[in-house]
C-alpha cells in the first residue's frame, strides 16, 4: 500500500498510542488535515512497510540502488552520506565555500576536511565549475576517502560529474554530489544531466525547485553501502508521515506526464523570456535559474529596481548579477510579470 493511501485508511482500533492528538484534536485548526493524517509508528497502520515500498518505488524511478526520503533537508542527506562512507581520521575533500553542512558532516564523522578552492567568474561574480583537473591533482597526491562536489551551484553552474566520477573510481574515492538545487534534472532532457545515476551518493532538495514542502529532500545511493545505519544516527524515530507521503506524491508527480509537461512548459516560457529581453544578458547551465545582468545596473541595483519598482524578489544577488529561481510552481503569470519588468529596465 502506498503512503498516500495508507493515510486515507480508517483504522477500526481505539488507539492509546502516540500521537496523543488522536488525529482529531487540533490545536492549530488551519492545519486540520495535517493533524488528521499524522499517524505514528506504533499505530496498527504499520506505516514502515508503506515507507519501504515508497522508497523502493522511488529508487526504480531514479534508477538508483536506493533512494531515502529525508525530512531534514539536503543537509541531513549530506551528513548521512559522509557518515556512511567515511571513518574517523579519514580525509574528505570539500570545497572551502560549500554549504556549511559539508564541513559539519566531516566534523561529525571525526574526519579531516581537506579544502579545494574554485575560481570566480569575474564578469558574473559567481563561482565557476569544479574542474576535474583540480580534483585529479589533489587525489594524485593525497589520501582521500571521499569528495563532495556542489553541482549545480546556487546560480546553476554545473560540473562534469562523469569526469570527476571517473577520477574517483581510478583513485578509489567515494563521490558525493550536492545536487540540492538540481531536483528537476532527472525529469527533463532539456536540463543538465543529474548525478543520481553517476555519483556514489547524490542529495537533492525537493523543496528548493521541485515543488516539495520545506524541508523534504532525497538521498540517492549507487554504491554497495547501506545508508540505513548512518541515517538512523541523525533521524528521529517519529517521522511525519504526512510529510513522507508528500515526498511519495512529489516524486510520482515529477515522473508523471503532467509533471514532465509542466517542467517543459517552464523551460519553454523562460526561453521566450530570454529571447524577448534583449536588454538583459543571461548566463548559466540551468535555464530554470534565471541568472541575469544588465548593462545599466550592478547586480545589487538590478535587484533593488526589481524589488522597489515591480515587487519582484530575487533569490540571490551579487555586485555583477542577480538570480531569480524558478521551479515547479513558477507559472506563466509569474514569468510574464518578470518579462514585463525586465523589458522596461
Ligand X SMILES: Cc1ncc(COP(=O)(O)O)c(C=O)c1O
Considering the rule CB under 6 A, would residue 165 count as an interface residue with ligand X? Answer: no
From 1-9, 32-40, 70-78, 278-286, give the range in contact with ligand X by CB under 6 A: 70-78
Q: Is 327 helix (H, G, I), strand (E, B) or coil?
A: coil
In DSSP terms, 205 is beta-bridged to 217
Considering the rule CB under 6 A, would residue 154 count as an interface residue with ligand X? Answer: yes
Q: How many residues make contact with ligand X (CB under 6 A)? A: 13
Rounded CA separation 185/136 (Å): 26
Considering the rule CB under 6 A, would residue 80 count as an interface residue with ligand X? Answer: no
Considering the rule CB under 6 A, would residue 184 count as an interface residue with ligand X? Answer: no
Considering the rule CB under 6 A, would residue 101 count as an interface residue with ligand X? Answer: yes
Footprint (CB under 6 A) of ligand X, residues 133-152 = 150
In Å, how far are 6, 157, 224, 270, 334 from 325, measured between CA atoms? 34, 13, 35, 11, 11
Footprint (CB under 6 A) of ligand X, residues 18-57 = none
Report, in Å, the least distance between residue 33 CB and ligand X: 24
Q: Please, are residues 49 and 39 in contact by the beta-carbon 8 Å criterion?
A: no
Considering the rule CB under 6 A, would residue 73 count as an interface residue with ligand X? Answer: yes
Whether omega for the bond prior to residue 339 falls within 30 degrees of 0, making it cis, is no
Considering the rule CB under 6 A, would residue 68 count as an interface residue with ligand X? Answer: no
Report, in Å, the least distance between residue 216 CB and ligand X: 8
- 23 phi-psi bin (left φ>0, alpha ψ -120 to 50, beta other): left
Which residue, judged by CB position, is nearest to ligand X in the bound state? Answer: 73
Closer CB to ligand X, residue 39 or residue 323?
323
DSSP string, 84-114: HH--TT-EEEEETTS-HHHHHHHHHTT-EEE
Report, in Å, the least distance between residue 72 CB and ligand X: 7
Selected binder of ligand X within 215, 282, 304, 340 (CB under 6 A)? 215
Rounded CA separation 43/216 (Å): 23
Rounded CA separation 200/160 (Å): 15
Binding residues for ligand X, rule: CB under 6 A, are 73-75, 99, 101, 150, 154, 178, 180-181, 205, 215, 217
Amino acid at each position: 500500500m502506498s503512503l498516500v493511501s495508507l493515510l486515507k485508511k480508517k483504522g477500526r482500533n481505539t488507539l492509546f498510542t502516540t500521537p496523543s492528538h488522536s488525529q482529531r484534536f487540533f490545536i492549530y485548526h488551519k492545519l486540520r488535515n495535517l493533524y488528521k493524517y499524522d499517524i505514528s509508528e506504533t499505530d496498527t497502520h504499520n506505516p514502515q512497510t508503506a515507507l519501504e515500498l515508497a522508497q523502493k518505488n522511488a529508487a526504480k524511478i531514479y534508477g538508483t540502488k536506493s533512494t531515502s526520503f529525508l525530512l531534514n533537508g539536503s543537509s541531513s542527506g549530506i551528513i548521512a552520506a559522509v557518515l556512511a562512507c567515511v571513518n574517523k581520521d579519514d580525509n574528505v575533500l570539500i570545497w572551502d565555500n560549500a554549504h556549511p553542512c559539508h564541513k559539519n558532516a566531516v566534523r561529525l564523522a571525526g574526519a579531516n576536511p581537506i579544502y579545494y578552492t574554485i575560481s570566480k567568474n569575474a564578469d558574473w561574480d559567481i563561482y565557476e565549475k569544479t574542474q576535474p583537473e583540480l580534483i585529479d591533482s589533489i587525489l594524485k597526491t593525497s589520501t582521500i576517502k571521499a569528495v563532495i562536489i556542489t553541482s549545480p551551484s546556487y546560480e546553476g553552474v554545473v560540473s562534469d560529474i562523469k569526469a570527476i566520477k571517473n577520477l574517483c573510481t581510478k583513485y578509489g574515492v567515494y563521490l558525493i554530489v550536492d545536487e540540492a538545487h538540481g531536483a528537476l534534472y532527472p525529469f527533463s532532457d532539456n536540463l543538465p544531466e543529474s548525478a543520481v545515476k553517476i555519483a556514489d551518493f547524490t542529495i537533492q532538495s525537493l523543496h528548493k525547485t521541485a515543488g516539495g514542502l520545506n524541508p523534504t529532500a532525497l538521498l540517492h545511493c549507487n554504491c554497495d553501502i547501506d545508508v540505513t545505519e548512518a541515517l538512523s544516527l541523525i533521524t528521529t524515530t517519529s517521522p511525519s508521515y504526512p510529510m513522507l507521503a508528500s515526498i511519495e506524491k512529489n516524486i510520482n508527480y515529477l515522473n508523471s506526464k503532467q509533471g514532465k509537461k509542466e517542467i517543459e512548459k517552464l523551460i519553454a516560457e523562460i526561453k521566450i523570456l530570454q529571447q524577448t529581453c534583449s536588454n538583459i544578458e543571461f548566463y548559466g547551465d540551468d535555464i530554470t535559474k534565471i541568472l541575469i545582468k544588465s548593462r545599466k545596473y550592478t547586480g545589487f541595483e538590478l535587484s533593488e529596481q526589481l524589488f522597489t519598482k515591480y515587487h519582484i524578489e530575487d533569490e540571490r544577488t551579487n555586485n555583477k548579477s542577480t538570480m531569480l529561481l524558478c521551479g515547479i510552481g513558477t507559472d506563466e503569470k509569474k514569468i510574464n510579470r518578470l518579462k514585463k519588468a525586465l523589458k522596461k529596465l
